Amino acid sequence: MNGILLVDKPRDWTSFDVAAKLKGLCKTRRIGHSGTLDPMATGLLVMFLGRATRAVPFAEEHDKRYFASLRPGLITDTQDVTGNVLAQHACAVTAAELEEALRAFRGEIAQVPPMYSAIRFNGRRLY
């Protein structure tokens, strides 16, 4: 099978899990995606099957948008809600303060992934 599938990746699945499932369902060995999502993330995972895998390099450069829920005052060992809570403080944030903090995340940025992420370090995923 050749083509591009848009998959709504469920929480707790890795991008590799999705690829493995599709390999079996679509009976194909050649499969790729245009960007890894961490297991806790949900959202669009663009999967390329068969000969369409040749298009992966062109799709990787597309713009991305992220939506997030914030928990001000919560500190975890993974920098997200899946980790162990290290500290929790009462925290009141005004709309203006939130808007000011979010300004740094808008537009074109060079993203630095957190240490608990899907990137590889010494051959192993950090998550």
Give Cα separations from 27 to 5, 20, 49, 50 (angstroms). Answer: 14, 10, 10, 10
- Is residue 12 annotated as a catalytic residue, yes or no? no
Active-site residue identified among 38, 63, 77, 80: 38
**What burial class does residue 14 get, using C-beta atoms within 10 Å of its C-beta: 0-12 exposed, 13-18 middle, 19+ buried?**
middle
Q: Among all residues, which ones are annotated catalytic?
A: 38
